Amino acid sequence: MAEFKEISPNASAGEKLGNWFNNRFPTFGEQMRYHVTEYYAPKNFNFWYFFGSLALLVLVIQIVTGIFLVMNYKPDAGLAFASVEYIMRDVPWGWLVRYMHSTGASAFFVVVYLHMYKGLIYGSYRKPRELVWIFGCAIFLTLMAEAFMGYLLPWGQMSYWGAQVIVNLFSAIPFIGPDLALLIRGDYVVSDATLNRFFSFHVIAVPLVLLGLVVAHLLALHDVGSNNPDGVEIKGPNAPRDANGKPLDGIPFHPYYTVHDLVGVTVFLMVFSAVIFFAPEAGGYFLEYNNFIPADPLKTPPHIAPVWYFTPYYSMLRAITSEMAAVLALIVLAAAFFSTRRLAGFLKPVVWVVAVAVAIMLGLLPTLAAWLHLPLGGLFKTLSFLNGIDAKFWGVLVMGGAVIILFFLPWLDASPVRSIRYRPSWNKWVYGVFVVNFVVLAYLGTQPPSPVGERISQLGTLFYFGFFLLMPWWSRLGEFKPVPERITFAAH
């Protein structure tokens, strides 16, 4: 049993209360010192480092507003839409809570996308922070699941048909697809059973996983220390320290960065409030106009598209046609040709067998036959059973791969330096084009299909994956600037 610490009888009432609490719960004080008051962060954080704390703020907003919404929401296919209308019209301040939650969903993805981009340009995924990045990507994936399941709950036209389309994509998976889609829906169509399943996952299961991953992300970050715009370690074995062992290039997170982050919080809340009070639908991007119409299983909307934060991946899904699959097959064969030149002898046939099998499954043979106006012979017809895997499956695979590839980023980047500050200047253009490409894909995902949009989406998909898959090559090119031994900092 720990000894109680005495305090002066002349101490204030607040100090006496704090001493009483710490004597009975010393672990809390130790963890507060380790993670807040005595956690040393680099002193050159810039505005990019606002978005981590803003993501935590939005998470709290979503949990609190979600609790109040659940008090009046009815997870029943016959009552769900009416219960949302009841919240909006009859519950005191219900409209504000609902708009805070719907705007918060989009705000969550805005700050998370910007937070991930900060990690991308400053190399925050590099050693020793690989696990921090992996936890962050897992948070992103869980957040997508949470948003998708919550999107069905208003039971509007776009919610209903969007869920119908997305769940049907799982049926494209060979062998297990139809059964998997049936398991997710709980019925042969999106129905009351689907609504109840999504409600339980959205309110209980997924938030618990999300909170656990957030805690793991923060604990892993504080164990290895925060990165900074220079990419210089402030707690490494050779980092300068004072007589007490504190890093000279670091400052306590509290009070310096707690006050510093208040600037970002203030600006964010101003923008957040402006959207809530003046444009909660954001022109149909945050809340689609079709979602103000009750779900009708007998009437399909003219154009079905997911919410804006899913549209880049939806655009990649639609980009995979049979022709695009054949192009990907040729890329796989070309990659096999160049990679096997450096492999050991016994690995070459293995790679080639896998590459040819993938090319056949991607539909290379029938597509080439169609292009060359050649009839399929007996051998090709025998192999054509592999082409039963249609383009939709490869679209689903590409859509999922666009997220999964982020997990491997720490091992794809071969640059000798972390931060973009000390990389060749043309790297900034590469990252800039990547952002523009991502935004264009997001926009195309909101639009009805068109021949021009399809071609642009295909080029954008190739660039997206090329950015990551070719990173081991292009990230080493060019002349790198010397990295300083200590972080650069100008007081402001």
State the residue for tokens 């119908």.
Answer: 164
Element housing 488 (H / E):
none
CB 122 within 8 A of CB 229: yes
- List phi, psi (to 5°) of 294: -60, 145
Q: 156: which strand partners?
A: 294
Element housing 51 (H / E):
helix 50-70
For residue 412, how many C-alpha atoms fall within 13 Å in the half-sphere facing its CB?
15
Cα dihedral across residues 264, 267, 269, 271: positive or negative: negative
222 annotated as a binding-site residue = yes
492 annotated as a binding-site residue = no
CA–CA gap between residue 317 and residue 325 (Å, rounded): 11
Q: In this structure, how many other beta carbons lie within 10 angstroms of the beta carbon of residue 21?
A: 12
CB 122 within 8 A of CB 48: yes
373 annotated as a binding-site residue = no
State the residue for tokens 């999107």.
Answer: 151
State the residue for tokens 């253009």.
Answer: 429
The one-character DSSP state at 294 is: B
State the residue for tokens 């129905």.
Answer: 191
CA 309-59-192 angle, to 5 degrees, is 65
217 annotated as a binding-site residue = yes
Burial of 380 (0-12, 13-18, 19+ CB in 10 A): middle
Q: For residue 227, which of 407, 55, 45, 31 has the smallest C-alpha distance?
A: 45
The one-character DSSP state at 36 is: I
For residue 36, how many C-alpha atoms fall within 13 Å in the half-sphere facing its CB?
10
For residue 324, what are its two tokens? 């695009």
Q: Which residues contact 225 (CB under 8 A, 6 or more apart)?
A: 40, 41, 233, 234, 235
State the residue for tokens 């809530």.
Answer: 276
40: left (phi over 0), alpha (psi -120 to 50) or beta: beta
Angle formed by the axes of helices 311-319 and 391-404, nearest 10°: 140
202 annotated as a binding-site residue = yes
The alpha carbons of the chain give a radius of gyration, in whole angstroms, of 26
The beta-carbon contacts of 397-401 under 8 Å, at least 24 apart in sequence, are 398/316, 398/317, 398/319, 398/320, 398/461, 398/465, 399/169, 399/313, 399/314, 399/316, 399/317, 401/465
Binding residues: 101, 115, 202, 217, 222
Binding residues for a ubiquinone: 222
Binding residues for heme b: 101, 115, 202, 217
